[in-house]
Chains A and B, each alone.
Chain A
């Protein structure tokens, strides 16, 4: 704005005036020092905790020894040798697909449930009920997966599990959950929703709170019912938030949730075909070797894939609706 107003006075066309009309970055900083000072802690935070550690990616290309110079980065260079372990295994495509499939399930069911729960909560008229249900939905988020695993044993175990006791009480045959791999993607999704969906509604609730009342009033005057208002006002206005949440979660689509899967499944060979993800595979294969190089190589692979997917998802979002894109 300023530059525009300024430019005619200097006379358009001359190179010098163009230069002055678009002040450089340093000039810009000098003009607004307090603003840049305010952004400094954030920039430093990301520089120190997110960018500086990237130097450690070099570990993926060396035969790591902790006493080598530069925190072990000076170990013997081995090129792509550390990647051989993962990419020459028979398992890598299956576990990569598993990781992708499970995360896609988690992300899609998670976003849909969160959105529906938020809309539902928003429509509740009795404040007391709303608060109680919100608290009950939030609580599971603070229980660790290790504790959830104890619950899950109490629920799913063959002889003493609550579900099997229930089935047997009605004359059914008990299900051996811990030996039936096909049921686990569903169980994992259910447990994850129970644990996380309530807490995930926060962002949606705040977006809904930001929707202007005038739009709802206008819709009501136009004769929209309650369902109509949800369908034609609330849900369309949640589109941008959903797209942003989706793009952010896609970044981690190749990172299996080790904490959850290892706590619930452990190293159960009978459940491997559907629950084995990159992170559990790496843990099993490398726990005994303590080879930092090989682990770092797999981590690098996951990050690159995550990066490609984020950029891809963002590009698609941008094409569909430029406001939904993250960058």
Chain B
């Protein structure tokens, strides 16, 4: 026993001495550390990652001397894995987080799990971060912490200010039946042609197991790109409208159109409509067969489309190149079309589309990290020089990609794309100022992207920057979360007597304490409006 203890002591002393000498030996090059990064990814291993990282280390070794160990996981369990790693004390230096992860970015910040990056960025020691995470991008992505202070706790990774809502459709079929999709009527004419001529093909498939479609249908039907009076929106499942007095009113009705107080504050064009327009249209789509009969169980709508069992599906325009590539593999003889549902982009009208200017993906440093300075140093290195950024995002120039001008790239000839470097930039490198598109991107898509990346194209949503703090009402929030999916049957036109169903759902919400949530939301939002008044956008 004593011998073991002696041996342990000797080992400990030796390692302490070595560590001390190591530090003293080279003041410039710090001791090497491995930084643990955790992120979601569609692939469990990135092709050629080691070769790219070797290039990175060539440059970073003299000053940073870090090794990066990336652990990739799936999108649905990233939040849980991150919090488990933190609670069990596993080393974790950089973690992917977003408003849609569980726990969300706001929840992590309120529990003090993430490092405040403002102090680093403002210190002047990290010019790369200071240059690219500043101004609106910084302000719109800052989060309020438990002390009520708002700071940048996570680096926002984004390429655009919206995803660009769109419907992808079988252009070959539209051409076959002589339909050119440009508005609501031509879209439904396309659906009719499919129903009539293509048995076994659903006109439109979407993620009915979690999403609702009535809002999109109503927007398509209205088709006008309004540029002002965007005074109503949904925040954490509560419908809010801002009245002429500049104060927010949160609808007491789960289906807000049924609340006269809410209705009276809506813009005139809405008040001229039938309050139940969107539900009626959804029911019409369902009855006519535009929507799938079993849509409430639909989990793989894109698979339906790619297998030729659906003629169209909704997806953001920002994934166009990726979708085209998969479509070409799945259906080599067919043609893919894209129809913008985001009206501002479709009509090319400024300030008709809203954005909260928040990214959809973030990366943050856990407070439990032992290497905070080194991690910030590495992040700074990425943004210090666009070449560093491109190396991590696209791989080794000449081997994995070729630069085409300043803002585009292409692939070297004869390259096997399935084996090429395939790192997903949204977990580390995306930034609106550092985007490169593939040189083959069609002109009409490039035009759409241009708008999506132009902050002046969008109006700022009145709820941008607002976070609903639910700590005091979390029991009611949990009970209401449980009821959310009941609305889906009505919003997707599945229920024949939708008005009767709306009354039933309202009663269930009220029994679960909905009004407590609504009143708290209204209070918090009005407080928010004092600092961020509504300006008529």
Contacts and interface: CB of A to CB of B under 8 A. Distances in A.
Interface of A: 65-67, 71-72, 81, 84-85, 88-91, 153, 157-160, 176, 178-179, 265-270, 272, 281, 284-291, 294
Contacts of A72: 87
30 contacts: A65-B111, A66-B83, A66-B111, A67-B112, A67-B113, A67-B367, A85-B475, A85-B478, A89-B512, A90-B508, A91-B482, A158-B294, A160-B200, A176-B294, A178-B293, A265-B297, A266-B209, A266-B299, A267-B485, A268-B297, A269-B486, A269-B487, A270-B489, A272-B486, A286-B478, A288-B481, A289-B477, A290-B102, A290-B104, A294-B474
Consensus secondary structure, chain A interface: loop
Given A178-B296, A289-B474, A284 B485 contact: yes
B113 A71 contact: no
B489 to A, nearest CB: 5
B84 A85 contact: no
Nearest to A287: B102
A157 B102 CA distance: 32
Contact of A287 (B296, B299, B474, B481): B481
Contacts of A289: 102, 470, 474, 477-478, 481
Given A67-B87, A178-B296, A268-B296, 11 more contacts: A88-B475, A89-B512, A157-B294, A176-B293, A269-B485, A269-B486, A269-B487, A284-B484, A286-B478, A289-B478, A290-B103
A91 B481 CA distance: 13
A160 to B, nearest CB: 7
B10 interface: no
B475 A267 contact: no
B17 interface: no
Contacts of A267: 209-210, 485
Contacts of B512: 89-90
Contacts of A84: 475
B216 interface: no
A37 B111 CA distance: 47
B112 A270 contact: no
A72 B102 CA distance: 17
A291 B112 CA distance: 15
A286 B480 CA distance: 10
Consensus secondary structure, chain B interface: helix
B79 interface: yes
B462 to A, nearest CB: 23
Nearest to B107: A290
B294 A269 contact: no
B277 interface: no
B529 interface: no
A159 B113 contact: no
Contacts of B188: none
B478 A71 contact: no
Contacts of B358: none
Contact of B479 (A89, A159, A270): A89
Nearest to A150: B300
Instruction: Give the top 6 A-B pairs by smallest Cβ distance, nearest first.
Output: A66-B87, A158-B293, A285-B482, A290-B103, A290-B102, A85-B475
B394 to A, nearest CB: 34
Nearest to A263: B299
Interface string B465-501: 0000010001101110110111111000010000000
A267 B103 CA distance: 21
A100 to B, nearest CB: 19
B86 A67 contact: yes
A285 to B, nearest CB: 4
Contacts of B487: 269
Contacts of B113: 66-67
A107 B536 CA distance: 62
Nearest to A157: B294
Interface in B91-141: 102-104, 107, 111-113
Interface in B325-380: 367-368
B492 to A, nearest CB: 10
A294 to B, nearest CB: 6
B209 A67 contact: no
Contacts of B456: none
B14 interface: no
Contacts of B2: none
Interface of B: 79-80, 83-84, 86-88, 102-104, 107, 111-113, 200, 209-210, 292-294, 296-297, 299, 367-368, 470, 474-475, 477-479, 481-482, 484-489, 494, 508, 511-512
A101 B222 CA distance: 48
B79 A290 contact: yes
A270 B478 contact: no
A153 to B, nearest CB: 7
B297 A159 contact: no
Contact of A266 (B87, B297, B368, B475): B297
B475 A179 contact: no
Contacts of B475: 81, 84-85, 88
A228 to B, nearest CB: 49
A281 B479 CA distance: 9
A71 to B, nearest CB: 6
B511 A294 contact: no
A45 B111 CA distance: 35
B482 A269 contact: no
A241 to B, nearest CB: 39
A178 B482 contact: no
A158 B200 CA distance: 12
A191 B107 CA distance: 40
A90 B511 contact: yes
Contact of A66 (B86, B200, B292, B474): B86
Nearest to B200: A160
A203 to B, nearest CB: 35
B482 A89 contact: yes
A81 B474 CA distance: 10
Nearest to A293: B474
Contacts of B80: 290
Contact of B368 (A67, A71, A85, A157): A67
A268 to B, nearest CB: 5
A268 B488 CA distance: 9
Contacts of B294: 153, 157-158, 176, 178-179
Given A89-B512, A158-B294, A267-B485, A285 B88 contact: no
A284 B478 CA distance: 8
Contacts of A157: 293-294
A63 to B, nearest CB: 9
A289 B482 CA distance: 11
Nearest to A179: B494
Contacts of A88: 475, 479
Nearest to A177: B294
A85 B481 CA distance: 12
Contacts of A67: 86-87, 111-113, 367-368
A10 B88 CA distance: 58
A288 B87 contact: no
Contacts of A269: 296, 485-489
A291 B107 CA distance: 10
Contacts of A284: 481-482, 484-485
A275 to B, nearest CB: 12
Please indicate which of the listed interface residues A84, A160, A289 has the most CB atoms of chain B within 10 Å of its own CB: A289
Nearest to B507: A90
A272 B80 CA distance: 27
Contacts of A288: 102, 481
Nearest to B80: A290
Given A67-B367, A157-B294, A269-B489, A294 B102 contact: no
B482 A268 contact: no
